[in-house]
Every structure is written in structure tokens, then in C-alpha cells.
Amino acid sequence: MGMLHTGHMSLVRLAAQQTPSVIVSIYANPSQLTTHGEKQSYPSTFDSDLERLVAMNDEMRHSCTGVIRAIFAPVDEEMYPCSPPDSIPQGIGGFVNILPISSLLEGRDRPSHFVGVSTICLKLFNAARPNTVFFGEKDFQQTIVIKRLVQDFLLDIKVVVGKTIREIDGLAISSRNVFLGTRRRAVATIMVRAMQAVRDAYEQNVMDRNQLLSVGNRIMEQERVEQEQLPEDQGATFAVIYFELVDPESLESLITIDPGNGAVLCGAIQMLPLKGGGDGEDQGLRDGADSVRLIDSIIL
């Protein structure tokens, strides 16, 4: 989707460590950006993305088995030749839906999101014909969707999942972080703090879903209340979209964890638009006017 960051670059490096020839795809997929306005406002960073990739490629020639051989940056008309460039899954054209995985977690309030993801990935796989593809663990549900896509459509492709890359304070690196600004960025760590507390409880042999989730929910609720009580030019409010303990393969909610099978803690929060704030405050891209959806996951 562009807006390359350290997490993306770690996947490029991982690919170069495991394969001799790497293709990097950069494409802002319109069937993931589900409104025309969202597509129009999505930041274009292609030139800076290209500069980063060229610099990394020069360095990888001396440290990795492989290098970047090509950057695949198609246009809408190439990827959606039979439907409008701003096509969405409810519109005309051919789309792929991996059910029931796509309808869970993110799919509950973004029902077309993974339809767009699976569709564009199948198109990219058909166009580039990779032997191996690399995805990040932060978007855990996406990795399961892609694995099912590969299985269901009999694709001879290996799916490799790279570890989540985090800031020093634990926040998962994401393209969306540039929208946060200083105030929301400080509060955005609340989800990973809650997840770490749940992981600590799990490591103390707590296996019950309700007990584990209550640990994280308590932490997030306390932070939410504290932020709402602050003056509006000081606080950063947020809403919890979901905070779930799921099976690592089916993504179905678990009642209790089987230690032999493990579990994945998946969550999403919405950092709400900023209110107030004086001149000179870093409010992030578009001056804090947009809500920012942040997702994360931790494997237990």
C-alpha cells in the first residue's frame, strides 16, 4: 500500500535473506480503501519509498543472499481491467472472499476489507508468480487469510510470516502512526500494554478466557476514563473496537487455552480525532482531524 516503514523494510530484508530475487509490490488497493474519498486522500509516498528501497538494496548486496530485482507498482486499470478503478467488493467485477475467516475480528465492522485484501493478493500472485510471499505478524488475521487463500486456490506459494517490529515503548510500527501526533501517540500504547499484561497472566498459568481478557480490559478502561477526564486540549480519547483471545488457526474465540495449541490475542482500537491543542503542537498528519484505527496481536 506504500508509506513504507521499518516493519515493511524488515520483510524486504527477510525476503532477501531467504530468496535470491525479491519483488516489492507497491499498490494502494482501491478495494481496501472502500470510499472514493479515502482513496483520494491516501498519502502517496512512492518517491520516498523508492529511495528507501534503493538504499536498502545497496546495503543488502553486501549482507544478504538476495537483492531486490524489481518493484511492481501497477495502476488501477491494470489490476482491475474489467471494473472501475475505484471498485469496491459490493460493486461490479470479480472478488475473492475467504469465509469464515474474513468475517471475524476486523471483518465484523469492516466486512469488505478482507475481500479487498484476498482479491488483490490473488491478482498480485498471478501477475508476479512468486515462490514465496512475506507478510507481517502484526496483521495476524491477514496472514491466516493469505494462508487459506493459497490453500483454497491450490497456489504453489510458501507463506512466510515476519515478526512484528515495535517502537521502544512497544507500539507496533504502522503506516497509520504518522496520523497520531504527540498526544495520541503517547496514549496509543494502551493496547500493547494491555496485551502484555494478559501475556504475563497467561505465563502465570491463567488459561481462562474471561480472566485473561478482564486483565487487559481493566487496564484499557482505566486509561479511557482518565483521558476523558482531562481537559480536551490535553487528552487523547479512544474506543476499543475488539479485544479477543482466539484460536491461532480458525480465529474463533476461545473459552479456555489449550497450552498445546496456544492462542492469539488480537485487538483493535480507534484513536478518536483530537480536540483543542495550541499552535505548534504536533497533531499528526491532517492535524489530528481523522480517527486512527490501530491493530495489534500477540501470540501466546
Q: What is the pLDDT of residues 19-29, one digit of tens each?
A: 999 999 999 88
CB neighbour burial string for 249-288, b if at least 16 within 10 angstroms, e if fewer: eebeebeebeeeeebbbbbbbebbbbeebeeeeebbeeeb
Q: Is 110 left (phi over 0), alpha (psi -120 to 50) or beta?
A: beta
Query: Would you state the pLDDT for residue 88?
Result: 59
Cβ atoms within 10 Å of 62's Cβ, excluding its own: 6
So what's the pLDDT on residue 40?
56
> What is the reported pLDDT for 87?
54
Percent over 70 (pLDDT), the chain: 94
Measure the CA–CA gap between 46 and 156, rounded to whole angstroms: 30
CA–CA distance, 73 with 58 (Å, rounded to integer): 20
Please tell me the predicted confidence (pLDDT) of residue 83: 76
Find cell 483493535 and name the residue: 268
Residue-level pLDDT, tens digit, the chain, 300 residues: 778 999 999 999 999 999 999 999 999 888 876 555 555 556 678 999 999 999 999 999 999 889 999 999 999 889 988 877 655 556 677 889 999 999 999 999 888 889 999 999 999 999 999 999 999 999 999 999 999 999 999 999 999 999 999 999 999 999 899 999 999 999 999 999 999 999 999 999 999 999 999 999 999 999 999 999 999 999 999 999 999 999 999 999 999 999 999 999 999 999 999 988 767 889 998 889 989 999 999 999
Which residues have a catalytic role annotated?
8
pTM here is 0.93
Count of positions (residues) in the chain? 300
pLDDT at 276: 83
Average pLDDT, the chain: 92
**Amino acid at residue number 105:** L
* 187-245 pLDDT per residue, tens: 999 999 999 999 999 999 999 999 999 999 999 999 999 999 999 999 999 999 999 99
Say if CB 125 and CB 155 are below 8 A apart.
Answer: yes
Q: How far apart are CA 35 and CA 40, in angstroms?
A: 9
**The pLDDT value given to residue 38:** 56
